[in-house]
Structure 1
Amino acid sequence: MPRLPYLAGIAATAVALGVLASAPASGDEPIVSQPRVVAHFDFAAGETPENIALEPDGSADLTFAFARQVANVTRHGNIRGRVTLPAVAHPNTPIIHNAIVLGIARAHDGTLYVNYATGTSKTGIWRIAPDGSKPKQIAQLPTNGLPNGLALDEHRGVLYAADSVRGIVWRVPVTGGERTAWATANALGPVPSKTGFGANGIKVHDHAVWVSNTDRGTLLRIPVRRNGSAGRLETQATGLEGIDDFAFTSRHADTVLAAVNGTNQVVVVRPGGTHSVVLTQQDGISNPTSVAVHDRRVYVPSAAYFATEPDPNLLLARLNRR
């Protein structure tokens, strides 16, 4: 399958999405089973799935990074609809140098929010109404940043965006408006001598914002104080270099399933920081970018950035225990 012209510098591109990973520790019994690829996508058309949000019926809303699209994919692999973000003249996204759609979050009413990185004034958070109408930009983020992961806290009415290049967690009201640099710390920043990508995946969980750092190989927890400000950053796990986005196995547990892009693995990270491999390339994943969990199902989108024969896909597996 031919590669896209804008993926000629594929090493730098894939790095932006969480690569060059080292192998995690192994030894724990896997908590997932019965992996199967349910959908294959068109690499040449830019259908490289980067992030995922789930619908109540178990279908997946995927961001196709280089196609600038959000697509709904059923559990049987059928694409039911697409929404395309507007084209940008002369995009200049840091490191990527192309316009890409990254993180996605879903509200209970079906509204979708996505990060769009372009290197222009269109960089920011965009809203897609439940009817799939034309996307609308609700907040502008710095043109020299790379808003990657996106998380929604409906209780507080805010969105959190992880800026991989600037090492900042931005906070924006769901109604749109001014951005706030909610959390800034060296631990969120990239390592210049490595890929140049820091804060990547992000989730709201148990009164805290959790963030992965690709270059530093860490999983971080930032408590949310009663007044909404950021508390003291805590490192929950290390040794996860190349970690991309992640998901919790349940609402009440701190066990995480994380995509490790460059080594074609999904790992389980347990409270205390121990981690082990639960899915590999032999199961069908190919440069996995994110993870989602719904009931007893695990969803893993793969973008196939490094594959000799690229096969971007969506894998489903069974969650056996939490």
Structure 2
Amino acid sequence: MSRLPRLAAVATATLALTVLVSVPTSASEARWGSSRPSVGGEPTVSDPRVVAHFDFAQGQTAENIVLEPDGSAIVSFSNARQVARVDKQGTVTILATLPPVANPNTPVIGVAATTGVTRAHDGTIYVVYATGTSETGVWRIGPDGSGPEQIAELPTNGFPNAIDIDEECGTLYVADSVLGTVWSVPQDGGPRTAWATGTELQPLPAPDGLVGANGLKVHNGAVWVSNTDRQTLLRIPIRHDKTAGAIETRATGLSWIDDFDFTGRGDTVLAALIMDNQVALVRPDGTHKVVLTEQDGLDNPTAVAVGHKKVYVTSAAFFNPVNPDPNLLLARLSKGHK
């Protein structure tokens, strides 16, 4: 097990160096001190604290997160190929380990990795597995802990990343960072469909581009997607016939954007900026400000989840060569009037 994190770290460090040259830092970001005041009644993030530290040497690079009704977090550990539960006391329980792959050939990173994770109301967990082999796809863990079981294959030459569920129409949506595609998969499993494609979802052209569509959430009748290379937050309406509408760019200049979540029913977003070690609040008008930083405990933040009047942030420490600290951070969320 100890070899796998080192291999993944080398591969992802190469990715970091490449993207670092190609993606400039946004000039529109404003840094805030520890008070982080509310502006115009917008949500406020305060009192950040790390509630769980994970074992980098064992591959516990926290990649994605979804919440349970009691406030526990379901977290994917990408390099360990695992899905874990972190309870409110910070205790970690491994729920499932995805099967090893003899010769993984995953684009960008070269190793097998668990990436996105989501949860149905009945407790079923869906996780994305990227391997570069036939095991690439969506896997299911039953409410009783059964599985993991592969329920859909995704292209071996892609890099499936984030996943979210629309239970009203029984559909899982998956963002592919290499193929620039949002895939749809029946919740019960079955063939994939290229639900949305377009330049907005693709990485930048070679040699600069590597990671396009990255984070994904279903929200207010649309699928929202981040594009890391293009520093954008996108909205794709779900039409009445469940097909994809035209892709809308809702925010730009979000350097290093990874996954994200909404602060409530409106369209205000909290987004992880992985290489900047920041979380940004993105307003509905597309402007944004930084609300959490490395000083709060972030170490290459990968994803955000909002619930129980709290903000949960996973950090993977992928690109920290000295004292990496993958962790789970919690902060208080005051929603203001939006």
Could you tell me the TM-score, scaled by structure 2's length? 0.91
Alpha-carbon displacement from aligned partner over 1:197-254 (angstroms, at most 9, x marks no partner): 100000000000000000000000000000000001100000012100000001x210
Aligned length: 321
Measured after TM superposition, the shift of residue 309 of structure 1 is 1.1
Aligned counterpart in structure 2 of residue 98 of structure 1, from 94, 111, 130: 111
Measured after TM superposition, the shift of residue 5 of structure 1 is 3.5
Distance 1:243 1:128, change over 3 A: same
Distance 1:248 1:46, change over 3 A: same
- 1:71 corresponds to which letter in structure 2? A
1:171 aligned residue: 184
Distance 1:114 1:90, change over 3 A: same
Measured after TM superposition, the shift of residue 134 of structure 1 is 2.1
Alpha-carbon displacement from aligned partner over 1:103-150 (angstroms, at most 9, x marks no partner): 011000000001100000000000100111220100000000000010
1:41 aligned residue: 54
Could you tell me the TM-score, scaled by structure 1's length? 0.95
Mapped partners of 1:22, 1:111: distance in 2: 39
Mapped partners of 2:58, 2:325: distance in 1: 12
Mapped partners of 1:121, 1:14: distance in 2: 27
Could you tell which deviates more after superposition, 72-81 or 237-246? 72-81
What are structure 2's unaligned runs of at least 5 residues? 39-43
Moved over 3 A (4+): 12-21, 27-30
1:7 aligned residue: 9
Note if 1:81 corresponds to 2:94.
Answer: yes
Write the mapping of 1:281-296 to structure 2, written as runs, cut at 5 A. 281-296=294-309
Note if 1:26 corresponds to 2:30.
Answer: yes
2:203 aligned residue: 190
2:244 aligned residue: 230
Mapped partners of 2:17, 2:169: distance in 1: 33
- 1:239 corresponds to which letter in structure 2? G
Mapped partners of 1:134, 1:163: distance in 2: 24
Measured after TM superposition, the shift of residue 182 of structure 1 is 0.3
The answer (yes or no) to whether the contact 1:7–1:13 under 8 Å persists in 2 is no
Measured after TM superposition, the shift of residue 21 of structure 1 is 6.7
Distance 1:81 1:16, change over 3 A: farther
1:107 aligned residue: 120
Measured after TM superposition, the shift of residue 17 of structure 1 is 11
Measured after TM superposition, the shift of residue 16 of structure 1 is 10
Could you tell which deviates more after superposition, 269-278 or 189-198? 189-198
The answer (yes or no) to whether the contact 2:19–2:209 under 8 Å persists in 1 is no
Distance 1:184 1:193, change over 3 A: same
Percent identity over paired residues: 58
Mapped partners of 2:127, 2:253: distance in 1: 29
Q: Secondary structure at the match of 1:9?
A: helix
Q: What is the root-mean-square deviation in Å for CA atoms of aligned residues?
A: 2.1
The answer (yes or no) to whether the contact 1:103–1:149 under 8 Å persists in 2 is yes
